[in-house]
C-alpha cells in the first residue's frame, strides 16, 4: 500500500527548506564565499533585533569618530595673530664683505634680519649686520629677493637703515612704543637665525634699561628678553601681543640661556628718522652717566622727594652738564618743561634737540628743585 503525503505535510517541508536556505545565505555561506556578503538579502518584516552583550573574551566594539581640529587656547591665538601681522615685514639679509687677512683679501658671508618700516622699501636693521658689506641681498617672506643699499649707519646704537627698490608696495611693520613696556609682558621674536629663514620664538620682557659691553662700546637702555635670539636674529623684530614692533633684536649673552637684548623701538625710530633724512646721526651730548630710574618704590626705599626721574651717577669732566653745574646724585625730572619719567623719556627728548641748542633741565638736589641751562654738545662719531 503506497504511503500518501498530505498537502499540509508538503507545505511544512517547503517552509523548512526556505528557512534553511535563508540561514545558509545570510550566515553560513558568506564565511566561505565573501563575495556573497554584499548581496541584498530578501526583505523581511521590520522587527527590532536586540544587540547581544559582548562576551568577556571578546574585545568591545569601538566606533571611530573623525577627529576635528583641536581648539586653540587664547595664548596660542594671540601668538598666531602676532606672527601673521609681523612676519611679512621681517626680511632675511645676506651680505658679502671683503675681509683683509694675512693671506690676502677674501670674501666673507654673513646673515641677519631686518624690519620693513615703509612700503617704499626702507628697512631697519643692526649696524653689525651690514657693516663693511659690499653686497646686500634682501629676501622677503614671499621668497622674492632684491639688492639692498645702505642709507646710513650708527655704530653707537648698532642701528642701520638699508633700502631696496621693489616694483611693488612692501608690507611695513607697525612700530609701537617701548616707553610703556612692563616686565613680564609677552615678547615675540621673529628673525633669520643661522640662515634658516623666518623663525618665531616666544618669551617675555625680562628686564628694561639694560646695558651691555661690546668691543669699544657700551650700548645702553636695552630690553632684555628670554625669547630665544640666536646668530642671524640680529636686526629682526621683537613684537608685543598686539603685533607692534617694540624692539630690534641685537645681542645675546653667549654663555647664558634665555638672555637676549633688543634696542627699544623709541630709540630706533629716532635714529632711523635721522639716518633716512640725513644719512648719519647728529647726536646731542649732555655728559651725564645714567644711574637708574626713580619710581615710587625707589622713592620710598631711599626717602626721595620725587617718585619719577633719572639719577645722575657721574658727570663727565668739562662736559655740557658739568659746565651747567649738574652734579652726581642729582635727579633729572624735566627737559624744557616736559617731564622725564625714565631714561627712555630723557633720550627721546634729547633727540628732538640739536647740538649747540640750549635746553632747560629740571633737577632735584638735596630735596629742593632747581633749573639749569645746558648748552648741548655733539657726540663725536
- Give the residue numbers annotated as catalytic, written as ranges: 128, 158, 234
Using an 8 Å Cβ cutoff, are 224 and 208 in contact? yes
For residues 109 and 95, the answer to whether their CB atoms sit within 8 Å is yes
Q: For residues 318 and 294, what is the distance between their CA atoms, to the nearest angstrom? A: 26
Q: What is the DSSP string of 122-138?
A: EEEE-HHHHTTEEEEEE
How far, in Å, CA of 127 to CA of 123, rounded? 12
User: What's the maximum distance between 2 C-alpha atoms anywhere in the chain?
Assistant: 150
> Cell 662736559 identifies what position?
319
Strands 159-164 and 122-125: antiparallel
C-alpha cell at 23: 540561514
Contact 331, 363 (CB under 8 A): yes
Number of H-type helices and E-type strands within the chain: 8, 20
Amino acid at each position: 500500500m503506497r504511503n500518501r503525503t498530505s498537502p499540509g505535510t508538503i507545505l511544512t517541508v517547503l517552509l523548512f527548506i526556505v528557512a534553511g536556505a535563508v540561514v545558509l545565505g545570510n550566515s553560513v555561506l558568506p564565511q566561505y564565499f565573501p563575495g556573497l556578503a554584499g548581496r541584498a538579502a530578501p526583505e523581511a518584516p521590520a522587527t527590532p533585533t536586540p544587540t547581544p552583550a559582548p562576551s568577556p573574551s571578546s574585545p568591545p566594539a569601538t566606533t571611530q569618530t573623525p577627529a576635528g581640529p583641536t581648539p586653540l587656547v587664547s595664548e596660542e591665538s594671540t601668538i598666531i595673530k602676532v606672527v601673521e601681522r609681523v612676519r611679512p615685514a621681517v626680511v632675511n639679509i645676506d651680505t658679502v664683505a671683503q675681509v683683509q687677512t694675512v693671506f690676502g683679501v677674501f670674501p666673507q658671508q654673513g646673515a641677519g634680519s631686518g624690519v620693513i618700516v615703509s612700503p617704499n622699501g626702507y628697512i631697519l636693521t643692526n649696524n653689525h649686520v651690514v657693516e663693511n658689506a659690499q653686497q646686500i641681498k634682501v629676501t622677503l617672506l614671499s621668497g622674492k629677493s632684491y639688492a639692498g643699499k645702505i642709507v646710513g649707519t650708527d655704530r653707537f646704537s648698532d642701528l642701520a637703515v638699508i633700502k631696496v627698490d621693489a616694483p611693488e608696495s612692501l608690507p611695513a611693520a607697525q612700530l609701537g612704543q617701548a616707553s610703556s613696556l612692563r616686565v613680564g609682558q609677552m615678547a615675540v621674536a621673529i628673525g633669520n637665525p643661522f640662515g634658516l629663514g623666518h623663525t618665531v620664538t616666544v618669551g617675555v620682557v625680562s628686564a628694561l634699561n639694560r646695558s651691555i659691553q661690546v668691543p669699544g662700546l657700551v650700548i645702553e637702555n636695552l630690553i632684555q628678553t628670554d625669547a630665544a635670539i640666536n646668530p642671524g636674529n640680529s636686526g629682526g623684530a621683537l613684537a608685543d601681543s598686539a603685533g607692534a614692533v617694540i624692539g630690534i633684536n641685537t645681542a645675546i649673552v653667549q654663555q647664558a640661556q634665555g638672555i637676549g637684548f633688543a634696542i627699544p623701538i623709541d630709540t630706533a625710530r629716532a635714529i632711523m628718522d635721522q639716518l633716512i633724512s640725513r644719512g648719519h646721526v647728529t647726536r646731542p651730548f649732555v655728559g651725564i652717566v645714567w644711574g637708574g630710574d626713580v619710581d615710587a618704590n625707589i622713592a620710598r626705599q631711599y626717602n626721595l622727594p620725587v617718585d619719577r626721574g633719572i639719577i645722575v651717577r657721574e658727570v663727565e669732566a668739562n662736559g655740557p652738564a658739568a659746565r651747567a653745574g649738574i652734579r652726581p646724585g642729582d635727579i633729572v625730572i624735566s627737559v624744557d618743561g616736559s617731564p622725564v619719567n625714565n631714561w627712555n623719556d630723557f633720550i627721546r627728548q634729547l633727540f628732538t634737540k640739536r647740538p649747540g641748542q640750549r635746553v632747560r633741565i629740571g633737577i632735584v638736589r638735596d630735596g629742593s628743585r632747581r633749573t639749569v641751562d645746558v648748552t648741548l654738545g655733539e657726540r663725536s662719531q
